[in-house]
Structure 1
């Protein structure tokens, strides 16, 4: 309801402006074209930068200065700090980067927004950029029709975006110049500290409505160049645009996890603090701007370039003041916003965030991580179904000796645990993947299909264990040594496979997993008691009863299904992580290292080795 009222109010204001001033239409059209350019530019970057950008981000944000540089460069190229903020929130929610590096990227993005001010003040107002815009649009449209090349199409959208940006700036410039001949908006200037607060609030409102600090900056600079706003009030509008841009990050964090909300809060704190510093010390900033402008040869009356200097200066000051307290800020944010303790009844998702849906490759990453979360929950159920604790399996103890001991039955309700700890996650993965597939290309869809299959196979292991557990509890301590031996062999084989998959304490153990899975697959065929004649011999020699033989025949099939599904799911997950590394064009040595790091991180869920 509130949103509808706001939208109607905006329409009413625009309608009134169109009625009283034909030149207002030119300015409004310029803003609209500029925003359309930003949307096109974002579409281009989203289309071809998803996986490459995600991998590049992970490899270049291991230090604060690298995070700052990434945020600044990415924002300068995309001309959208909002896109960088949402992208960072999605990566952070997916666990691809730590909070400290995410905060560094946001700080860098604030520095990157200053390039837009320099672009317009230094070039847009002094050159007929509309002349460059039209060829960009023509070539960009032609490139978007090349459907056989994803990157070519994406580059076309980026070119269209730049063309619209330039065209929008030209329209705003012309509109304000036309207005200045018949209307002097500068008469509404408010001097002093009161004017700073009023115009800062206006800057915040403009940025929230347009969802773009760049659009507010460009509008401010073109109005300043036409003399429609005073220099002091323009500075306040610039401060307000910085604070207002956090609104987009907050919206993006609403549907994200706790880490995403922590980042949005850090973004808000940074912009509010730097804005407050700029307002309180506005006099000192103006003096510093005058000194720097004179130093670099900017004319005393070139207020548009001086505005760009001011915007850069107060953002640099904010970064310099905030960077040393990033780690304490992380500590405070993690205490202030903590992960909720999972309820006993059900297990909630950890990684599936709405923000990640914006970027298909990132969505695939979070689905893969949630599938590992699903596998870890399944591990607990499978271990207990074998009448073992997870610590028994992941320790270095002799599993054969533990299985040989006749312990009390754990009496675990496998179906109940499935309903509480597996089914909710599986349902969430399926629902999320259905939403994610709408923006995916054929290659991404193929990876998604494999991840869905891995989740389905993990679920099937639990269903098979639900059937198998009944007779494990019945025969693992049976007086008949032959049936006891066969059921404990089933337990041993499954426990060894689980140890291989979930005992991932070292890089060496992770790198051995693919070869070990091949060995297990071969052993499955060799130890098939029906195919190798073992069951037939037990029956012929009357070592087991017909009832035992029937149970053993069925349960051997369930055990085979569990092993087969676990191996297939594991191979899919490892293949998914490896396909990401191939996009990076690493050397063999780098690929091995990266592969181990990715697997260790994504299998960290298995590190909770409680019983």
Structure 2
């Protein structure tokens, strides 16, 4: 009884050591990813939104982005987020997803190389470099420190994982009962020919679903293979490698679930991007299963050609060969899949378009925060907020043009147009709520100081745009009331209001352009236009007061003054937008 208790306790301790090692690896990956995003977030956003003009450039962009953040799950979630915001087309997204699959293969190479050196010799010095930067550095220095600490923790976690997963042969001597149970499970999965390949692949799917990271699943797979959990490496290294290769295929399917879940509640295009990720990976797994044995034997022959010094390690030649063969298989499989399917991106696009039907009732302006529970992408998610703010600016501009259209056509029945403008104003109200909620959600995650200021700026911008649309719709209602009451403006009054409107329209364009780029000249021009609008308001109101003194219809002149004041108020809101883009604060 006592011996059985000791055996159970040792098993629990061993399991906790494995989980602890895995926790250090996953936490290190999270910290490193967040640090890299803070250091290079702007460049990564620009790359994803601007360097994907062709499917080939999209593949390269996805590869380098995933290599930096070390998570294909984070990259594909980010792609879904960008598609949801309209920053990427479905065709571009498919290319980036293909590249993301190749980028995640770097983890396998890191694990394969772990046996070639003492992990502590590289992990602890990297953490040592990052620690003073993290605590003493400012802004970018602190971000670099965070990235270094995360990178060191990734190596440390992989090293601890390798040491904590027990060697099955040694376990036969220290804990034969547990070892025999593990062997029994492996025997149940193995020995069924191609059926075993399917069983191991299924195990890979479930493993990835559990840890929610293909990188972590890959590390676990290779570590277990190296320690004899898939068979005796000494007598059947090729069979052990083929078992680990089958699990890797399952991990390629399991990793698609993260993006699939992230697309829940997103728009139709984002759902199609997630389905494209699933389709691409499943097609790859299917052709690889059909060619599994010749393909794995080809990979094994390549691994045998590696330099002897690289293939051998302290743990033994066969073990090192299995590790490198698995890394080669993962890279070659993903590279081959890209090479085969990149020519069929339009066909994949048609498949997912047929799969996910268009939603006629879908609100394209709806903004929803899309994130990953494993890796914080708050830093990169700001690109989606940028796209939503630009949509709100365009909607405000269209509303103003619609108001001018109603104002200039007193003889036409534009009731439908007025109803449309009211609908646009309601949409702007919804966008204010959605974008504000989204930005607050982003701010709760780890972001750099520069992006914290950017969030504050965007919150002010969307508030000012919403206030401007409220004013514009009030002007629409005033113009409508003017027509109903039969209050006709003279040609002079019409020209005075149009003169102010033209200035406001110019300021509207400046405000929209300031969301893309702004400098001192832009701000000076904005101040100049707003000052002209203010002077026109004062002049026009004085002229209206003079006309009332001379006996003009008071009700008509009051409508004129109301419109005049609202135009100047819209100009003020637009100037506030430009100042917020410049991260200035207006003093009224």
Under TM normalisation by the shorter chain, which class is it? 0.7 to 0.9
Q: Is the 8 A contact 2:84 2:267 kept in 1?
A: yes
- Which residue is 2:107 aligned to? 116
Q: Is the 8 A contact 1:23 1:178 kept in 2?
A: no
Aligned counterpart, 2:385: 367
CA change 1:461–1:160 in 2 (3 A) is closer
Q: 2:175 corresponds to which residue? A: none
Alpha-carbon deviation of 1:124? 0.6
Structure 1 residues 533 and 208: alpha-carbon distance in aligned structure 2, compared to 1, 3 A threshold: same
Residues 50 and 359, structure 1, Cα contact 8 Å, conserved in 2: no
* CA distance in 1 between partners of 2:12 and 2:459 (Å): 57
Q: Is the 8 A contact 2:67 2:106 kept in 1?
A: yes
The answer for the alignment partner of 2:66 in structure 1 is 75
Q: Pick from 151, 156, 162: which aligns with 2:151?
A: 162
Alignment partner of 2:431 out of 425, 430, 438: 425
1:60 counterpart residue number:
51
Q: Which moved more, 1:221-230 or 1:329-338?
A: 329-338
Hey, what does 1:559 align to over in structure 2? 567
Residue-pair matches, total: 538
Deviations 1:38-58 (A, max 9, x none): 222222223333222111333
Of 68, 71, 76 in structure 2, the residue corresponding to residue 85 of structure 1 is 76
Are the structure 2 counterparts of residues 281 and 423 from structure 1 closer, same or farther at C-alpha, using a change threshold of 3 Å?
Answer: same
- Give the aligned partner of residue 208 of structure 1: 209
Match of 2:250 in 1: 240
Alpha-carbon distance in structure 1 between the residues aligned to 2:256 and 2:487: 70
Deviation at 1:490, TM superposition (A): 1.9
Distance 2:477 2:166 in 1: 84
Query: What is the CA-CA distance between 1:484 and the residue it aligns to?
Result: 5.8
For residue 79 of structure 2, give the secondary structure of its aligned residue in structure 1: helix
Structure 1 SS opposite 2:414? coil
Unaligned runs of 5+ in 1: 1-14, 390-402, 577-611
Picking from 269, 285, 297, the partner of 1:259 is 269
**How many angstroms does 1:573 deviate by?**
8.2
| Cα distance in structure 1, aligned partners of 2:353 and 2:582 | 33
Aligned counterparts of 1:24 and 1:455: Cα–Cα separation in 2: 51
Alpha-carbon distance in structure 1 between the residues aligned to 2:124 and 2:43:
30
Question: 2:279–2:348: 8 Å Cα contact kept in structure 1?
Answer: no
Per the alignment, in what secondary structure is the counterpart of residue 97 of structure 1? Answer: coil
Checking the alignment, whether the CA contact within 8 Å between 1:374 and 1:422 is kept in structure 2 is yes
Instruction: Check if 1:450 corresponds to 2:468.
Output: no
Please name the residue that 1:224 is paired with: 225
- Check conservation: 2:461, 2:581, Cα contact below 8 A: no
1:51-450 matched pairs, under 5 angstroms: 51-121=42-112, 123-146=113-136, 148-183=137-172, 184=179, 185-186=182-183, 188-189=186-187, 190-191=190-191, 192-230=193-231, 231=240, 232-297=242-307, 301=318, 302-342=321-361, 349-355=365-371, 358-388=376-406, 403=408, 406-411=410-415, 412=418, 416-417=422-423, 420-439=426-445, 440-450=447-457
Q: What is the CA–CA distance in structure 1 between the aligned matches of 2:8 and 2:68, rounded to whole Å?
A: 33
Distance 1:160 1:460, change over 3 A: closer
**Corresponding position of 1:472:** 479
* 1:231-282 Cα distance to aligned partner (Å, 9 max, x none): 1322211211222111222222224333322221111112212222222211
Q: Where in structure 2 are the equivalents of 1:479-494 lying within 5 Å?
A: 483=490, 485-487=492-494, 489-491=496-498, 493-494=500-501
How many angstroms apart in 2 are the aligned matches of 1:325 and 1:17?
Answer: 53
CA distance in 2, matches of 1:502, 1:40: 41
SS across alignment from 1:340 = coil
> CA, structure 1 residues 427+162, in 2 after alignment: closer, same or farther (shift >3 Å)?
closer
Change in Cα spacing, 1:281 to 1:501, as seen in structure 2 (3 Å) is same
Given that 1:349 and 1:370 are in contact with CA atoms closer than 8 Å, whether structure 2 keeps it comes out as: yes
Q: Please tell me whether the aligned partners of residues 45 and 383 of structure 2 are also in contact (alpha carbons under 8 angstroms).
A: no
Q: Which residue does the alignment assign to 2:3?
A: none
Query: How big is the shift at 1:327?
Result: 2.4
After superposition, the CA RMSD in angstroms is 3.7
1:580 aligns to what? none
Query: What displacement does 1:319 show?
Result: 1.2
Is the contact between residue 21 and residue 158 of structure 2 (CA under 8 Å) also seen in structure 1?
yes
For residues 43-75 of structure 1, give each alpha carbon's deviation from its aligned partner in whole angstroms, at most 9, with x where no partner exists. Answer: 222333322211133343333332222322333
SS in 2 for 1:254: coil
Using the size of structure 2 for normalisation, the TM-score is 0.80
Instruction: Provide closer, same or farther for how the CA distance between residues 215 and 572 of structure 1 changes in structure 2, counting only shifts above 3 A.
Output: same
**Deviation at 1:461?**
3.1
Is contact 2:526-2:575 (8 Å) kept?
A: yes
Instruction: Structure 2: state its 5+ residue gaps.
Output: 1-5, 173-178, 232-239, 312-316, 584-588
CA distance in 2, matches of 1:479, 1:211: 67
1:546 aligns with 2:554: yes
Residues of 2 paired with 1:320 and 1:418: CA distance?
A: 46
Equivalent residue for 2:543, pick from 518, 529, 534:
534
**CA distance, structure 1, for counterparts of residue 465 and residue 16 of structure 2:** 59
CA distances 1:469-504 after superposition (whole Å, capped 9, x unpaired): 455345569988765641463256426744885799
Change (3 A) 1:149 1:205: same
Q: Deviations over 1:132-163 (max 9, x none)?
A: 222333333333213x5222222222222222
What is the CA distance between 1:220 and its match in structure 2? 1.9
The SS at the match of 1:149 is coil
What SS does the aligned partner of 1:528 have?
helix
SS of the equivalent of 1:145 reads helix
Q: What is the CA–CA distance in structure 2 between the aligned matches of 1:279 and 1:427, rounded to whole Å?
A: 49
Instruction: State whether residues 414 and 462 of structure 1, in contact with CA within 8 Å, keep that contact through their aligned partners in structure 2.
Output: no
- Alignment partner of 2:537: what SS? coil
The alpha carbon displacement at 1:297 in A equals 4.5
Q: 1:209: Cα distance to partner?
A: 0.7
Give 1:229 deviation, angstroms.
Answer: 1.4
Q: Which moved more, 1:201-210 or 1:408-417?
A: 408-417
Q: Could you state the TM-score of these two structures normalised by the residue count of structure 1?
A: 0.77
